[in-house]
Structure 1
């Protein structure tokens, strides 16, 4: 291949990668995972764990805290109806139990009932206007509904309350990223990492912003760390593959795209990348 053809190929490769990055960033900003109870943990709802919590409730049937704790265990295990029943009981025993309202809101959110989720978050914040977890939860509902300004305000409020919950910074970082404010996004993702160093998502998010700023080595390091922390993160595998593809390492790119498709068969950026490289 002549020098002119090589330059044209290089320009084409960069343009293709930029276009793909734009699509990946859009997907991340629209549906990037938050760091909460979204990952079902069956051990939380194991028979042994639930049995011990039930014994506590039986010993103190008028204590709303027991129902709140067991409801949280049911929720982490994906047993949403049982969780709702426990939170309902906790709230009936203590109508000002703002943590139970916020926990029930999270279950409603997972079930796709955002109207009830918002109502419960609003009630929790009426009872305790300084409850950072409720601002973060409500902000997630707003962000996923495309109500970006309201979401940003809720994450900002949680941060102003000196929250130590990494989700506030991670989710505000996603909004900054969607607005193309990658320097601010990187700062927020870095703070989220300092608060939750074992979480995969902030590394993946920061990597995308590094890539948007053409800091490829930093991006690659972050995608690799995201995979190390969570080998089931299909988005991180896709983004690692994108770096390999940009570097012309098609075999490695195809391998990573293939793993992403295996983990998340409907994830379009991974499917498109695999069709380009295999």
Structure 2
């Protein structure tokens, strides 16, 4: 085996995020542009994120926007999309049988660490071997000043490199005067990144330090917004303090209302009202949330052609609320308007596809999911949703392939194991289904859907005690899961307990009436000699009686 390129020093102090990726891309891109330009085009987003400036053609997307208009901060999981895309590009362009040698991996940026993990997991050594040394030569001290650090922090924020934003942002804060404009820029980006990484207490502390250091109204409005979002967006619903979030947003709105510049006032006030709509939505007050979003859309009309991303976000949010209130036609119109504002943003197609799927418009959902897949670096959610649409269209083999793709991209995607295990069990491919169940339960030991499939598999294998334990655990974890009640009812009948079977199947029917449940209960009722009830169930099942 030969080296792909000279050994790469991955120390993040040399180049920052994607030091390893950039070195590989600079080596591979020239030949790739000649031999397979379509592959370069397919992975252009990942290439530009990892090696800015490497491609000399005009960049796609929202590069024309000013700093104040780039309001979307990518989620932390975006780097997994990028890592998968970069892995596929490198695998598609590197000569087989090469070695990528990396030193100083212990000091690499999170992006490179994630990329090396994905490459090691996905690429067989005969395709591309990855050799990693944790240590290596130490680079010289980093003497970049605050201005240079700010340029990097700003770019890392746009790309979603949140770990680098926090590390470099904290250094920038230490080298600037508290309360100054540059200090505020570092503080805002760093606090936002800390929140995105789940380091909520540190983010709150930083927002509070901003409040103590500044007397600028817009800064106080933004800090109040930041503190509110820490409460409103906590991934654990039990940890959210929506009342406190409302208080902070009311303060932000009060300050934004007083801003003297009409354009800044319209934008920031709309931004804050949109955030308050999230609080109302999570309180179940959908109409109040809709009224707030519509008021923000009205304010956005004052902005002319400025802030297109802000207007796109507002349209998507209104579409989601309209859909939740049952106004599907209007919701689809808003999604269409959002797509028109930014045809290259994959998440809008994903959201519109989800609505089409819920409406039973499976072909349209499929088209939107495929557009999202085409526009984005490898996006597990889009493949997962496309599997659902394909299944609804009767394309079982294609659905299984999509679920396999999800697991390949993200081995921690529990719902993909759930769905694939259920499909495989239905196809009587029990050994494969069991492997998925075991992999999923290793990630989520109390997942009721996986436990229900495990119960089915144990029932089919004749291990009734193990099956009963699995169904009991599933029902304890999710008492509203009709499938667990139904399958436990079948198990109880097969185990010689028709009375228990009737009880479980009756509960399943209460939760989710289905003809096959009535048919199964009819069998159990007849075993108990309850002929009239059995005949009634058979009629409901569409059978004789």
- Tell me the TM-score range normalised by the shorter chain: 0.7 to 0.9
Among residues 495, 509, 528, which one is paired with 1:247 in the alignment? 495
Distance in 2 between the 1:80 and 1:190 partners?
Answer: 39
Among residues 514, 519, 530, which one is paired with 1:272 in the alignment? 519
- Aligned 1:153-232 pairs, distance under 5 A: 153-162=401-410, 164-193=412-441, 195=443, 200-232=448-480
Q: CA deviation at 1:111?
A: 1.2
Residue aligning to 2:396: 148
Among residues 330, 344, 348, which one is paired with 1:96 in the alignment? 344
Pair 107,195 (structure 1): closer, same or farther in 2 beyond 3 Å: farther
CA contact (8 A) 1:204 1:222 kept: yes
Distance in 1 between the 2:443 and 2:319 partners?
Answer: 26
Residue aligning to 1:263: 511
Residue aligning to 2:387: 139
CA offsets, 1:137-175, max 9 Å, x none? Answer: 111111222222211221111211125432222222223
CA contact (8 A) 1:45 1:74 kept: no
Pair 266,152 (structure 1): closer, same or farther in 2 beyond 3 Å: closer
3-state DSSP of counterpart to 2:514: coil
CA offsets, 1:9-44, max 9 Å, x none? Answer: xxxxxxxxxxxxxxxxxxxxxxxxxxxxxxxx9966
Which piece of structure 1 moves more, 70-79 or 146-155?
A: 70-79
Among residues 464, 485, 488, which one is paired with 1:237 in the alignment? 485
Residue aligning to 1:10: none
Task: State the TM-score, normalizing by the size of structure 2.
Answer: 0.40
Task: State the TM-score, normalizing by the size of structure 1.
Answer: 0.73
Pair 231,267 (structure 1): closer, same or farther in 2 beyond 3 Å: farther
Distance in 2 between the 1:127 and 1:203 partners?
Answer: 36
Distance in 1 between the 2:451 and 2:321 partners?
Answer: 27
3-state DSSP of counterpart to 2:387: helix
Distance in 2 between the 1:76 and 1:169 partners?
Answer: 28
Q: CA deviation at 1:59?
A: 5.0
3-state DSSP of counterpart to 2:374: helix
Q: CA deviation at 1:181?
A: 2.3
Pair 75,220 (structure 1): closer, same or farther in 2 beyond 3 Å: farther
CA contact (8 A) 1:253 1:277 kept: yes
Distance in 2 between the 1:118 and 1:191 partners?
Answer: 28
CA offsets, 1:89-131, max 9 Å, x none? Answer: 2212111111110111111111111111111111111111411
Question: Which structure has the larger Rg over C-alpha atoms?
Answer: 2
3-state DSSP of counterpart to 2:508: helix
Distance in 2 between the 1:118 and 1:198 partners?
Answer: 32
Distance in 2 between the 1:273 and 1:144 partners?
Answer: 24
Distance in 1 between the 2:290 and 2:446 partners?
Answer: 26
Residue aligning to 2:230: none
Distance in 1 between the 2:492 and 2:422 partners?
Answer: 24
Pair 54,125 (structure 1): closer, same or farther in 2 beyond 3 Å: same
3-state DSSP of counterpart to 1:130: coil
Residue aligning to 2:541: none
- Over the aligned positions, Cα root-mean-square deviation in angstroms equals 2.8
Which has more helix, going by share of residues? Answer: 1
Between Structure 1 and Structure 2, how many residues are aligned?
A: 237
Residue aligning to 1:50: 290
3-state DSSP of counterpart to 1:135: helix
Q: CA deviation at 1:185?
A: 1.1
3-state DSSP of counterpart to 2:462: coil
Pair 266,162 (structure 1): closer, same or farther in 2 beyond 3 Å: closer
More relative contact order in 1 or in 2 (CA 8 Å, sep 6+)?
Answer: 1
CA contact (8 A) 2:420 2:433 kept: yes
Gaps of 5+ in 1: 1-40
